[in-house]
Amino acid sequence: MRDQERSGRIGCGFRGNHVASAMAEVPGVEIVATCDVYEPNAEKARERLARNGTAYKDFRRVLDRNDVDAVLIAAPDHWHAIPTVLACRAGKDVYIEKPLGHNVAEGRAMVDAARRHNRVVQTGTQQRSAAHFPRIREIIQSGKLGEVYFVRIWNYSNKHPDGIGREPDSEPPPGLDWDFYLGPAPKVPYNRKRFLGAYRYFWDYAGGVPTDWGTHRFDVIQLIMDVAAPTAVSASGARFALDDAGEIPDVLQATFEYPGFVLSYECTLLNAFGTGGRTPAMKYYRANGPDDRPSGMAFYGTNGTLLADRWGFEIMPELQPGRKATEKDRSSPDHFRMKREEAFTPDSTKLHVEDFFHCVRARNHPVADVELGHQASDVAHVANIAYKTGRKLRWDAVREKFHDDEAASALLRRNARTPWDVLRGQATRVKPCHRSHSLRRFDSSADVDVRGPSESGVPRDPLRRPSGRACRG
């Protein structure tokens, strides 16, 4: 087992800096290269965590280096797939931020590349490494919460009235290669609102709130409920009030049908309250006031309701039939169908990064394996497609297309702009799975037509077949 890893960074923005800081704390890990099409970002990242390393503008130069073992990719969503696929071809392991790709086809290409080249690819859905989600899964799968037929996710924030604002097109700032930034996306003039923190408001580069925040929630919902994909989806919403340059809806509600339960997903950019129900002294993710709960999920069981976010959970028990209760009765088993329970855990990014490098060294599948990231990202993608088409869609997760709706299925991919139309081939389809130890290998057909780096490295030892659990440090 290796105990030294040299890593490169592709994308040096806010989230990338956070994850890279965690990587720098892992014993035996050295960051030797930073890369960003905005050269000031790459240089700042080098000065911060890679003083003896090299800053690049072109990610392919990082992949060309034989001394780079793994890469962190934290670029905008439309730059997730191509670097990941080419990194796998170059023999690098990959930590890739969510969502897995800009669209479903890109995600599948990333899974195939990881399997074909025996790479460890960890999706940045760090809640997979949080201690409280396995406990939630245990509570629900054991039946303690009763039968759960309805699950809810919400992502609320208030950007009213100006949203991201508006700015006129202009010349790119010094050090930015705007054409390279656009990459596979359509060519448009430079506009500050399409760059850095606001790019998620545009369909060319991302999928709005569902692919940004929603992917995290969809991932743990599928873990907890022991499912891999919905069978149908419908969505409604609009851009009601925001007066800005963005394109995504400011209100969106999507309903997913899963075997045995219904999931409702809500997001709005016009209100930050979210949902009520707070326990004194508990901390809540992204809460800014005394009453708000802007981000979370709820599992409505016949014995109680379990409310959770990435920091913890709490159970609100259901009353016994015919009973009423007051505040003083909260701990009385005579009044409620189950006991209250609550838990708090800190941010799990550090644990997630440690899991990645442990699996790099052990040649095993990580806790948020690329297939799991693909499955979670697909939920967000199909919700956006249902919104765009205005139709209820039936989803075939095995074939990764919609039943009897070619127009909707056409939105599962896009024609990338040359010369970045490099993802080629039809992926082998396997039945989706929700456990990383159940992943199957893929056939060795070509996955890309590379207009870029040569094969600069050879794969190390093939990934071991996991022995029944995700790889943990």
Place of tokens 């139709």: 391
pLDDT classification of 283: cutoffs 50, 70, 90:
confident
Lowest mean pLDDT, pick from 79-83, 327-331, 358-362: 327-331
pLDDT of amino acid 439: 32
pLDDT of amino acid 424: 67
Q: How far apart are CA 272 and CA 275, in angstroms?
A: 9
pLDDT of amino acid 334: 80
Q: How far apart are CA 313 and CA 131, in angstroms?
A: 11
pLDDT of amino acid 463: 42
Query: How many CB atoms are located within 10 Å of the residue 452 CB?
Result: 18
Indicate the pTM of the whole model: 0.90
Q: How far is CA 334 from the centre of its chain?
A: 42
pLDDT of amino acid 461: 31
Query: What is the average per-residue pLDDT within 236-260?
Result: 98
Question: Which domains occur in the chain, in start order?
Answer: 130-344 (3.30.360.10)
- Asked whether the CA dihedral 283, 287, 290, 291 is positive or negative, the reply is negative
CA angle 375, 379, 384 (to 5 degrees): 140
Q: How far apart are CA 369 and CA 169, in angstroms?
A: 40
**Confidence check: pLDDT of 23 > 80:** yes
Place of tokens 């508006």: 166
**CA–CA distances in Å: residue 33 to residues 27, 45, 62, 147, 435:** 18, 9, 7, 50, 33
Phi-psi region of 82 (alpha: psi -120 to 50; beta: other; left: phi over 0): alpha
Lowest mean pLDDT, pick from 133-142, 179-188, 270-279, 325-334: 325-334
Beta bridge partners of residue 30, listed in sequence order:
6
**Confidence check: pLDDT of 300 > 50:** yes
Q: How far apart are CA 382 and CA 334, in angstroms?
A: 45
pLDDT of amino acid 276: 67
Lowest mean pLDDT, pick from 33-37, 101-105, 337-341: 337-341
pLDDT classification of 429: cutoffs 50, 70, 90:
very low
pLDDT classification of 156: cutoffs 50, 70, 90:
very high
pLDDT of amino acid 450: 30
Q: How far apart are CA 177 and CA 81, in angstroms?
A: 19
pLDDT of amino acid 270: 98
450-468 pLDDT, tens digit per residue, is 323 222 232 323 343 233 3
**Confidence check: pLDDT of 185 > 90:** yes
Reported as type and span, the H/E element at residue 388 is helix 370-389
Higher-confidence position of 457 and 247: 247
Backbone angles phi, psi at 386, to 5 degrees: -60, -40
pLDDT of amino acid 416: 96
